[in-house]
Structure 1
């Protein structure tokens, strides 16, 4: 069995005058949400054989803050293909994961991550899938299990969505801003 955990980067700052989207940093709420999610991952006892991530600044900073809460550096392999990737590209990345890794963390961006969950989990996948379909917010985590022995066998509709956690589920203050 293979377990894939997806983590969307935390909330980034649109106020920072960076010239490229790739270079946008986290805002203070995103920093807090990432650290909170890291603590929750530790409390759940989540352990990963392998991590792979987009090298975008907001992902790098998300992992720094998640690592602080988690109590360990997740030390991902950086993969440029994950930056703003489609679900199809993310599936290509998944098919190339190391055979010996059974518990993988993939950190990236929307809409690719949300689309990937919706493609991998069958439409009758339950209320967690319905929650993902509504929105996969920043710093959210989705964990899926596959009854396969090799990452190359991961295919559309084969996942069982075991967990979907949003920052607001852990701290209401990390929910959507009220305008």
Structure 2
């Protein structure tokens, strides 16, 4: 069984004129939340073989937390395509980079992370807040064949402990 983990970046600082949205870093609370979620993920035995990460600063900062929790740098690919991605973009990138990985982590943004959860669960009221992480089992024989219907959400980790 393949496992896809989708993690919305943790709470970020407000954008400044000098910095812009792409360069926003995590707020102190966001750093603490990301570390808490990463530690829970690793403690639960969910070490990703590959991380696909938006190239924004806040997503990279969020992904850094899992490296600290794992005690080493995990394989990571920073992709500008994840910044304004659609569900179809996610599926394409999963197929392109997933290869032989059994567990793949994407650190990205809303609205795509939330739209993915809505499409899988059929719940139009699902909300994915900053720092929330969802774990999906994928029934496809390999990542290149995966469609949205192949995914089942099996767990949600939230900094708020829900």
TM-score (norm 2): 0.90
Q: Which runs of 5+ in 2 are unaligned?
A: none
Provide the secondary structure at the position in 1 that maps to 2:7.
Answer: strand
Task: Give the distance between the partners of 2:75 and 2:85, measured in 1 at CA.
Answer: 21
Following superposition, the deviation at residue 80 of structure 1 comes to 1.0
Tell me the matched-pair count: 162
Provide the secondary structure at the position in 2 that maps to 1:143.
Answer: strand
Task: Give the distance between the partners of 1:19 and 1:169, measured in 2 at CA.
Answer: 31
In terms of mean alpha carbon deviation, does 45-54 or 12-21 score higher? Answer: 12-21
Following superposition, the deviation at residue 91 of structure 1 comes to 1.8
Residues 122 and 158 in structure 1, CA contact (< 8 A), matched pair in contact too: no
Q: Which has the higher strand share?
A: 2
Asked whether 1:146 is paired with 2:135, we answer: no
In terms of mean alpha carbon deviation, does 45-54 or 60-69 score higher? Answer: 60-69
Task: Give the distance between the partners of 1:157 and 1:98, measured in 2 at CA.
Answer: 18
CA, structure 1 residues 23+155, in 2 after alignment: closer, same or farther (shift >3 Å)?
same
Asked whether 1:39 is paired with 2:39, we answer: yes
Dislocated runs of 4+, deviation >6 Å: none
- 2:11 corresponds in structure 1 to 11
Structure with the greater alpha carbon radius of gyration: 1
Task: Give the distance between the partners of 1:74 and 1:133, measured in 2 at CA.
Answer: 33
With a CA cutoff of 8 Å and minimum separation of 6, indicate the structure with the bigger relative contact order: 2
Matches for 1:69-84 after TM superposition, within 5 Å: 69-84=69-84
Residues 117 and 126 in structure 2, CA contact (< 8 A), matched pair in contact too: no
Deviations 1:69-97 (A, max 9, x none): 34332331111100131222112211212
Task: Give the distance between the partners of 1:19 and 1:39, measured in 2 at CA.
Answer: 30
Task: Give the distance between the partners of 1:37 and 1:8, measured in 2 at CA.
Answer: 11
